[in-house]
Every structure is written in C-alpha cells, then in structure tokens.
Amino acid sequence: MQSTLPLHRLATRPIIQLRRLAFPFPSRHLSSSSRRLTPAEQPKIAAYESIGVSLKPGEEVWWCRCGRSQEQPFCDGSHEGTGLEPLQWLVPPPKNKPDDTTTPRTIRFCQCKHTKTPPICDGSHKQLKK
C-alpha cells in the first residue's frame, strides 16, 4: 500500500508522529553484540540533564543509546557505524493505575547515556565531568 501524501509532506511530519511509526531501520541494526566497545564506540553525552516527554502507556519508543541523534532522546538513525543500537521501550502504565492506558504521563529520559536504568534517568549525569 502506498502513502497518499507527497514526499515533501511526509518529511515535514512532526517528530512526535514519526517516532510512533514502525522502527525505520533494517533488523541487522537491532542485533545485540557482547563484545567490548572501543573508545570510538562509546556513547556521546547528548546533555547533562534528563528530558521529560509526555507519552501514553503502551506507546513504543526507540531510545537513542549512542547520544548522536538530533532528535533526543529518541533514535534518528545516527548510530549507523558506531556499533551501538537504540533501545526499544514500551511506556508502562502508572504503578497506582495499572489499567490506565489513556492518560499521558511524563517520562524523564536519560540524555547522558550513562543511566543504569535505561531509558529512564537515574541521576548518573550528576556524577559525570563536564
């Protein structure tokens, strides 16, 4: 099935719509690797603070793990060739309302790429040298 939108219209869709589409990169970019990362493959620090994004429970996002995306905190494909891959993540429902799938909640995403609870900020950016 072909899209009825002309190409220039597709390119101007807001990013909030684009990130909800199926992940646009070939599956070979999603395979995991257990080898140690070289210094050149280490994630870049996109920012020394978290970023809040309002999302509904059940929404799927692809969190940028490499720090090179221009659409932080989400992947834009800039990880190509780094050996790093994005993290697929589904927004969970609030703990006090596990059946609520309609109310948006603000998620604090890590941008320093050093969180130990990806993709959620755990405050690790406070320990990093600027």
Confirm or reject binding of residue 64 to ligand FES (CB under 6 A).
yes
- CB 61, CB 19: distance < 8 Å: yes
Residues 72-111 that bind ligand FES (CB under 6 A): 75-79, 84, 86
Window of 49-57, 59-67, 88-96, 103-111 that interacts with ligand FES by CB under 6 A: 59-67
Contact 61, 91 (CB under 8 A): yes
Q: Which stretch binds ligand FES (CB under 6 A): 31-39, 51-59, 70-78, 103-111?
A: 70-78
**Closer Cβ to ligand FES, 19 or 65, answer by number:** 65
What are the backbone dihedrals phi and psi of residue 61, each rounded to the nearest 5 degrees, phi first?
-130, 160
Nearest CA among 76, 109, 66, 72 for reference residue 91: 109
Whole-number Å distance between alpha carbons of 57 and 52 = 15
User: Using CB under 6 A, which of 68, 107, 115, 121 touches ligand FES?
Assistant: 68
